[in-house]
Structure 1
Amino acid sequence: MRPVAPVEPPDAAELASIRAVLAAVQPVADRTMAQFHALMFLRHPELRAVFPAAMDEQRQLLFRALQECVRHGDDPAALRAHLVPLGRRHHTYGALPGYYASAEECLVQALARYGGDAWDERAEAAWRRLLALVSRLLVEGLEETRATPAWWQAEVVGHRQAADDVAVLTLRPDQAYPYRAGQYAAVETPWWPRVWRPYSFGSAPRADGLLTLHVKAVPAGWVSNALVHRARPGDVLRLGPAEGGMTVNHSSGENLLCLGGGTGIGPIAALVEEVAAHGPGGRRVEVFYGARRAAGLYRLPELRELAVRHPWLTVRAVLSEGGGADGTPAGELPDVVARYAPWHGYAAYLSGPEAMVRAGAAALRRCGMPADAVRHDLAGD
């Protein structure tokens, strides 16, 4: 990697100026981001091919990313944790290191146009400092991927309707695809070019090299609806490199508490498969599998069969809309898990809808579980 001059984060006065500008543009955030993209594509038309045809969502994502950068503007470690993985992901989208300097200049000009009285020379200098740091960290992540393919072609070789609006896809990548149980990848379909969505792998790495994805079609979800209702065997998708840190440390021996809601059971089941293949090493694994109704527990028979074969594994189903006749607990998944506390000596793995993951993490912390023992990757359409 080429040496890059260090960039100091903004000081307190500069951050105050940055935040004042961000507050000024927030009511017209969509217009500001549209101005940024217009300037960038006008001056650097080669960048247009990196973005999808419809830019509405891109404007929202960019403004949220700016808010996140400003929130952590005085915390280089937090900025690094957020931006270096994002830079790695940009490799999949076709970004090059030189793109970021071009984007910086266009963003400064868009903020100047809509920043109102909050924009002055000091504000401009402060924003340039922050954006230089942001660019350096994004380039750092991008450079880390130089030896990695930007994406893999993956043929759909299996497509099964597992539940209402839920499909399990089996994919055959065009070359070896390295990943760990619990990780996810960005997926692009041929029907929505340059629109990528993250999906977790639903199985541990297999000897035959096949991959599985569990996808629920969500309202206005372009990619999820295409994967559930349109994809068929023979179709070819593109996958970005595996991402995410929700993986098991097999040398630690800690017990595992796993919460899987809906299609979030995919990476949880993958973790169980990996523990079974590696050997439990004396650990226990407790799985709580939640759905609204019994029909949504489409992997329950498979997990219960694993529990019969492996005494270190316990599987509990939870229904939020009434318990089952077999005594299945009723209630929200995080609340039910909290009833079984304490969870001393456990590391928690959470996967599913964002609201469930956040509620579950908060419930476990209230039960006394250390924050660094609660692991999740919020991914999905």
Structure 2
Amino acid sequence: MSDLARLLKESWTLVEEQQDRLASYFYAKLFLSNPQLRDLFPVQMDVQRARLLNAVVTAVQSVDDPERLNEYLRALGRDHRKFHVSSEHYDVVGGALMDSLRTFAGEYWTPEFDQAWRDAYGVIAEKMITGAETDRDQPPYWHAEVLQHERRGRDIAVFTVRPLQELLFRAGQYLSLECRYQPRLWRTYSMANAPRKDGTIDFHVRALGAGWVSSALVRRLKAGDMLRLAAPMGSMTLDRRSTRDIVCVAGGTGLAPIKALLEELTRYNRTRWVHVFFGSRDRDDLYDLECLNRLAARYPWLSVVPVCSEDPDYPGEQGNLNEVVARYGPWQNHDFFVCGGPSMVRTTLRTLAELQVPPARVRYDAFAES
């Protein structure tokens, strides 16, 4: 570990248990120093506070992985164009962040910690600005019309949109979107298809209990509505150079990017076996199993294993998704794609480590609205 990484991680432990208070203080400082910035953010700030901290932690944890850090920060800079962020805003944000860290670390904050965060934030800001600048030939966001909207089960919807301008992305990526029912609240969702000639994009959304946006997308969105879509992000994409067989692990609507990867594979794959484990609480939540079974019937290289964790009468596999995946191994020579809620992704990654699957062969995304 480099000295910079050590100092960043060591200093973060001083404030880690006060994350929520630190984030509230940060935004208070930010808006007091530049009140105009408040208009860039939603009225409800709870999720935004969490996202700031997630971004900070991701950057800190990636400082010894320059390639991953560079890709993440450039994509983050492109994504933040939707907020109309300019290069001048980064100085204001940096000042508020440094003041917040000093305040909550208190007497334990050292000049070495201060310099480490100044250096790290300088790199973060530079790469985000570069990412935004290289994306100037694209709009800050795309307007898209909802073409179809279908309810699936209790709290899931599948809908299709068409951007009014060409939006380039890769199967397995995600983007943040905004709907008119909750203006200035952007939430992250994966595209559920590979790029198509007609430009249409599918999304799978579950309405969360306290989810402002997810509830609107499931219960209020309808054909004809307009959405705003931000720049695509994420690296959970296929490596066509790999000849290894593939295992996809999807929890709930984490199936969306897996569906996109499968759609891409149907266009060229002939030699790689693909195993999909699709997990849910009960059979009613296996909202897209019929489509997966049709694909498996059409493509002999694809197998689908549905799993229910809380349905004792389900005739198929039962139990936690990660445990079922482990039973079907060994998997040391496979490429893995994992997507679902944070808890499901963590347990699956832990299981794969125990099964001695090399980390470099595991790509994953974890989403939660709060």
Aligned to 1:154, which of 124, 134, 144? 144
**Does the CA-based 8 Å contact 2:194-2:263 persist in structure 1?**
yes
Q: Give the letter for the 2:198 counterpart.
A: D
**Residue of structure 2 equivalent to 1:186:** 176
Task: Say which one has the larger Rg.
Answer: 1
**Does the CA-based 8 Å contact 1:36-1:106 persist in structure 2?**
yes
**Residue of structure 2 equivalent to 1:342:** 330
Distance 2:20 2:159 in 1: 36
**Residue of structure 1 equivalent to 2:316:** 328
**Does the CA-based 8 Å contact 1:293-1:320 persist in structure 2?**
yes
Task: Report matched runs for 1:60-139 at 5 Å.
Answer: 60-72=50-62, 76=66, 79-119=69-109, 123-139=113-129
**Residue of structure 2 equivalent to 1:164:** 154
**Does the CA-based 8 Å contact 1:10-1:129 persist in structure 2?**
no
**Residue of structure 2 equivalent to 1:306:** 295
**Residue of structure 1 equivalent to 2:44:** 54
**Does the CA-based 8 Å contact 1:166-1:215 persist in structure 2?**
yes
Q: Which ranges in structure 1 are unaligned for 5 or more consecutive residues? A: 1-8
Task: Report matched runs for 1:357-372 at 5 Å.
Answer: 357-372=345-360
Q: How far 1:60 moved relative to its partner?
A: 3.4
**Residue of structure 1 equivalent to 2:246:** 256
Q: TM-score with structure 1 length normalisation?
A: 0.87
**Does the CA-based 8 Å contact 1:323-1:329 persist in structure 2?**
no
**Residue of structure 2 equivalent to 1:43:** 33
Q: Give the letter for the 1:259 counterpart.
A: V
Q: Give the letter for the 2:205 counterpart.
A: V
Cα separation, partners in 2 of 1:41 and 1:375, compared to 1, 3 Å: same
**Residue of structure 2 equivalent to 1:6:** none
**Does the CA-based 8 Å contact 1:294-1:324 persist in structure 2?**
no
Q: Give the letter for the 1:289 counterpart.
A: F
Distance 1:186 1:264 in 2: 15
Q: Give the letter for the 1:229 counterpart.
A: R
Q: How far 1:29 moved relative to its partner?
A: 4.5
**Does the CA-based 8 Å contact 1:10-1:73 persist in structure 2?**
no
**Residue of structure 1 equivalent to 2:286:** 297
- Alignment of 1:374 with 2:368, yes or no, is no
**Residue of structure 2 equivalent to 1:3:** none
Q: How far 1:332 moved relative to its partner?
A: 1.1
Give the length in aligned residue pairs: 368
Q: Give the letter for the 2:43 counterpart.
A: A
Aligned-residue CA RMSD (Å) = 2.6
**Does the CA-based 8 Å contact 1:216-1:263 persist in structure 2?**
yes
**Does the CA-based 8 Å contact 2:149-2:159 persist in structure 1?**
yes
Q: Which ranges in structure 2 are unaligned for 5 or more consecutive residues? A: none
Greater shift, 136-145 or 179-188, is seen at: 136-145
Q: TM-score with structure 2 length normalisation?
A: 0.89
**Residue of structure 2 equivalent to 1:198:** 188
